[in-house]
Amino acid sequence: MSLQPPSRLRDLVGVLLLLVPTVGLLWAQLQVPIDVENKALKSPGSPEALALERRIEHFGRDITLLAAFHAVPEGSGVITEVEERTLSSLESRLQAVEGVGAVRRWPLESHDCRVMAVALDAPGGDFAPVVERVERAIAEGAPASTRISLTGLPVGEVVIAREVREEQGRILPLVVGAFVLLLLFYYRHPGLVLAILAPAGVSIAWTGGLAALLGRELDPVSVMLQPVLLTVGVAAGVHWIEAYLDELRRGTPPGNAAGLAVAGLRKPALLAALTTVVGFLSLSFNSIPAVIDFGIFAALGVALAYAIAAWLTPALLRLVARNVPGELVRRHGERFGELGYRAAEWLGRRALAIRACAVLIAVAGLALWPRIEVDNDPQSLLPQSHPFRRATERVVREIGGSDVFDVLVPAGSTLAEPAALGLFAAHVLELPPVAAGAGPAQRSESGDWLLRFLLEPSGSTERARLFDEVEAQAAALGSPDVRATGTSVQVARDSDRLVRSAIVGTLASLLVLFVLFWAGFRSLRYAWLAMIPNALPCIVVYAVLAALGRPLTVATAMISSVLLGLIVDDTIHLLHRYRELRRAGLDGLAAIERVFQHSGRAIVITSVVLGLGFSVGLAGELATTVEFCGLATVTILVAFLCDLLLLPAILVDTAVPEGGHG
């Protein structure tokens, strides 16, 4: 080849220039605040949001935390007169804390415990600073001889936000470290590993930095953005490196080999990036701001990763991977040579059995889908032994619950009369999971009534059912305008809405992918073939959850959408290689053999590295981390089997037209 590569000095200057904005955007990303109130998980304009606005307008905010003070030793201690006076003083002190609206004693017949309900009047809904001030005031003013237990929705959201930040700083470096070690173990060359990881790292820094500059905050959904971009980047990078090593095996000089490797994969890499971008953008039709942002920034990150890798990968290969030992290059090619022949022969004999097995798995998986349940209890994110969960359990033992919800009865409603209101409140008290009333009924100057109730610990599905039942009962009594309201109501219904819309987003992504496959391959049959390794993992993952009796949560519902990038990448490269070989005159079995020898290497490497790397996350403390990493590992394994077993087993006996539009 007469193609002259750019000079190493030009590559070095370009890399250094790229490093400057990358460092700046990375610094901006590290300063991003936490969305402590989870505002991005609450849908604006929903009926719950509108009811909450009316509640705030007429009665103020509904943010209540509960503080319990147990005499020690618990179970045998007694609240003394001295401690009682100290608690009265603390009550006055809390009332004076900025952002506290009201403090009242919870009616409780107990000799060893006292409970205070602290209503927060947080301007703009930013209750995190108020919670912290209340925590300090209680720590400083509570009797030293009592055990303090703080709980309630505002405390829980603050605790979870802190844990999310710590978990990200703890688990992500472990996953990245696992990726690095596994890639080094396989490639035995730091320069090759750097060329794989660098574009993904730059994309993560740029995407996170831009999100920070646009005022976005860290929430339980956006925290998944970094591992997703890392996954897509590693999967794409391995394909670039495998093509580079192929060029070196052919005797191409390293400088030219880097450019030729990238140029040879430009079409399938572009199609993989485009399908992944559009798939993520389909999430922007969600009603939850956090999911919309995730879809937009994930799409931006993938586009950046492709654009950056198209230039940065060959530049890094020319700078730090020119001297790959010839013995390493030779052995690297031999590893899959014999394997490709044996695998193709094995598949040729068992293709029918593999296809039949896949059909049975898909049918069984779809049969399990009706058993999928949706539940999103925020407390379940934390380990069972977490101090907040233990504090909540102690408060629940004393008063029966930890969260409060309201029923807003507008003026003029048939239930706005005291007698009817009392009967309706009595009915609500009988519904599970209502634990008790949470204070007397309140009436605003406009004539609206507000009923307050204490909730037992429960998940979003059970609570959403309760709120629906309350509103349905009011409608049956002639008051269809009565609304369950409050932060607990909005969290439960938005959680349910978030999870269900994530499933719809996955289905929409698959539909968009089919259209793009059709346009990219210009073949309807190839589009259907490309869908198989992408749809089956989605079916299997949700079926596994249903079989295990695990409900869908925020983390598990989005797993299919966020990992479609990896599956799409490997599928497109495999089909692209197969189609080229068929057009070159090879029959189906011979083409499969060559695909195993080349694209098969990249699929095996990415699957092993990413599967083992994500399995490190199983050591996380938050349920979101464990569930996400566990299902990511399962998804990668299923996609690996689909790409290297099922898809070739179909291709062996499928007469796919090679020259037309199929």
pLDDT category at 510 given cuts 50, 70, 90 is confident
Residue 23 lies inside a defined structural domain of this protein: yes
Give the residue numbers spanning the domain of 104: 63-152
List C-alpha distances in Å: 132 to 297, 506, 647, 660, 661.
31, 39, 55, 66, 63
Q: How confident is the model at residue 337 (pLDDT cuts 50, 70, 90)?
A: low
Domain boundary pick from 134, 152, 170: 152
- pLDDT class for 580, splitting at 50, 70, 90? confident
Distance CA 285, CA 291 (A): 9
**What CATH code is carried by the domain that includes residue 417?**
3.30.70.100
Q: Are residues 147 and 261 in the same domain?
A: no
Q: Are residues 442 and 367 in the same domain?
A: no
What pLDDT does residue 655 have? 47
Is residue 398 included in any domain, yes or no? yes
Largest Cα–Cα distance of the chain, in whole Å? Answer: 94
Gyration radius of the chain's alpha carbons: 29
Q: Are 363 and 412 within one domain? A: no
What pTM, to 2 d.p., does this model score?
A: 0.82
Cα–Cα distance between 1 and 264 in angstroms, integer? 14
Q: Which SS3 state, helix, strand or coil, does residue 308 take?
A: helix
Write out the two tokens for 536.
Answer: 């089956």
Domain membership flag for residue 261:
yes
Q: Is the pLDDT of residue 1 over 60?
A: no
What is the model's pLDDT at position 332? Answer: 64
The verdict on residue 51 lying in a domain is no
Asked whether residue 168 is assigned to any structural domain, the reply reads: no
What pLDDT score was predicted for residue 190?
92
Instruction: Check whether residue 530 and residue 641 sit in a common domain.
Output: yes
Overall number of domains in the chain: 4
Cα separations (Å) of 41 from 287, 293, 299, 388, 563? 9, 11, 20, 21, 21
CATH number of the domain within which 364 lies = 1.20.1640.10
Q: Is the pLDDT of residue 662 over 50?
A: no
Residue 239 and residue 244: Cα distance in Å, rounded? 9
Structural domain includes residue 135:
yes
Among 269, 289, 320, which residue's Cα sits nearest to residue 211? 289
- Model pLDDT for residues 50-64, shown as the tens digit of each residue: 888 888 888 887 788
211 and 303 housed in the same domain: yes
Residue 306 has pLDDT above 70, yes or no: yes
Q: What is the pLDDT of residues 109-138, one digit of tens each?
A: 788 999 999 988 876 667 888 999 999 999
Same domain, 365 and 402: no
646 and 610 in one domain? yes
Identify whether the C-beta of residue 615 lies closer than 8 Å to the C-beta of residue 633: yes
Helical ranges in 321-442 per DSSP H = 326-368, 387-399, 418-429
Query: Both 202 and 308 in a single domain?
Result: yes
Higher pLDDT, 37 or 456: 456
Q: Say what the pLDDT of residue 654 is.
A: 55
Q: Looking at residue 24, what is its pLDDT?
A: 94
Length of the chain equals 662
Examine residue 474 and state whether it is found in any structural domain, yes or no.
yes
